[in-house]
Amino acid sequence: MDHVPAIEVLDLHKSFGENKAVQGVSFEVTQGEIFSLLGPNGAGKTTTISMLSCLLRPNNGDARVMGHSIRSDAMGVKSVLGVVPQDIALYEDLTARENLSFWGKMYNLRGSKLKSRVNEVLGVIGLRDRANERVGKYSGGMKRRVNIGVALLHKPKVIYMDEPTVGIDPQSRRNILDSVVKLKDEGMTVLYTTHYMEEAQELSDHIAIMDHGKMMACGTHEELVKLVGQQTRIDLTLNGDGINVMKMWQEIEGVSRVSAEDGLVTVLVADSNQVLPHLFEAAAHLSMRITSVDIREPNLEAVFLHLTGRALRD
């Protein structure tokens, strides 16, 4: 069983009318690793996870979760799976303990086994002291923790976490990221979706970059960064219309790409020390003034920019 990939995705397609949400996505997740789907909102991450959870039926393609096909063995898939949805999916008028007990029953836990698992999970998410309070009275971070706890009740082999850190405070975010690493240490496979580059970079063994329903690239962090050839990213702002100066910058030796979005001009260069003076000279030649400069070493953001021509933003 150890040789079976935890998740094997083969050419998944999903359309909603004219909108092609997922177009031919394929990847493989090894057991015990954290695999991130990185991409902006609307990239197709949640649709992919919904198909892998058997919530949506793909138009084409198939996927296997611990050997169970999402097309022909949905119950098999669901029994090995824990899902942490993007939105908090809890009953706010029930207590944390009641929520966990109910969801445990839905995962076929009963009697003393259920009771002990609920207590264990309450310990894991650090809410044992407040287990008998209604979830509606919890802070956003506490709700997130219960939301994750529900997916851990039946000790699943694979966990899907769909943007679990959206809209929460830094401390809760830190707790969640730590708990994801802990799950991996316990031998679980985690499929994690995010649009935060830092999270994917910090957590993942492998990262798949998605945009407009397509998989743009897949690999380790190092492998992806190599795609942009170790290029440095320079973000600049100008005191006026930058169209002419951008044309001049594109001609400078060592500059591989110039793009602009929301008044911010991004230049990908091989060596920032060598290129930067030329950028200032060209701007001065056109009587333009550079009002800010931000130099960034190669990272996933640069990779995304390199692959899609735009920045990875909300």
Partner 1 sequence: MKAFDIALKDMTRSFRSAFAVVFMFIVPLLVTGMFYFMFGNIASDGEFSLPKTKVVIANLDEGGPKFQVNPKNIPGGKKADTMGDLIVSILQSEEMTDLIEVTFAPSAEAARTTVDSQNAQVAIIIPSDFSHQFADVDGEAIIEFYQDPTLTIGPAIMRAILNRFMDGMAGVKIAVNVFLDEADTNQYAMVGQVVQLYLKDSLAESDDPAGELLDVRAPSNGQKNEAQESQNLMLNIIGPIMGGMMVFYAFYTGTSVAQSILKEEEEQTLPRLFTTPTSQATILTGKLLSVFMTVCVQVIVLLIAAHLMFGIQWGDILSVVLMAAGIILTASSFGIFVNSFLKNTKQGGVVFGGVLTVTGMMGMIKIFAMNSAIANKMGDTISLLVPQGWAIRGLMQSMNGEPINSVLTTVLISLVWSTAFFIIGVWRFNRRYV
Binding site for partner 1 (CB under 8 A): 53-55, 75, 78-79, 81, 83, 85, 87-94, 98, 102-103, 105-108, 150
Closest separation between CB of residue 151 and partner 1, Å?
Answer: 9
Nearer to partner 1, 133 or 205 (CB): 133
- Angstrom CA distances, 76 to 102, 106, 182, 227, stand at 20, 14, 25, 38
Closest separation between CB of residue 98 and partner 1, Å?
Answer: 7
Closest separation between CB of residue 135 and partner 1, Å?
Answer: 11
Nearer to partner 1, 154 or 221 (CB): 154
Nearer to partner 1, 46 or 308 (CB): 46
Nearer to partner 1, 50 or 299 (CB): 50
Closest separation between CB of residue 23 and partner 1, Å?
Answer: 23
Nearer to partner 1, 83 or 131 (CB): 83
Nearer to partner 1, 84 or 122 (CB): 84
Nearer to partner 1, 96 or 288 (CB): 96
Closest separation between CB of residue 37 and partner 1, Å?
Answer: 17
Answer whether 216's CB lies under 8 Å from 308's CB. yes
3-state SS record for the chain: CCCCCCEEEEEEEEEECCEEEEEEEEEEECCCCEEEEECCCCCCHHHHHHHHCCCCCCCEEEEEECCEECCCCHHHHHHCEEEECCCCCCCCCCEHHHHHHHHHHHCCCCHHHHHHHHHHHHHHCCCHHHCCCEHHHCCHHHHHHHHHHHHHCCCCCEEEEECCCCCCCHHHHHHHHHHHHHHHHCCCEEEEEECCHHHHHHHCCEEEEEECCEEEEEECHHHHHHHCCCCEEEEEEECCCCHHHHHHHHHCCCEEEEEEECCEEEEEECCHHHHHHHHHHHHHHCCCCEEEEEEECCCHHHHHHHHHCCCCCC
Closest separation between CB of residue 72 and partner 1, Å?
Answer: 15
Closest separation between CB of residue 50 and partner 1, Å?
Answer: 8
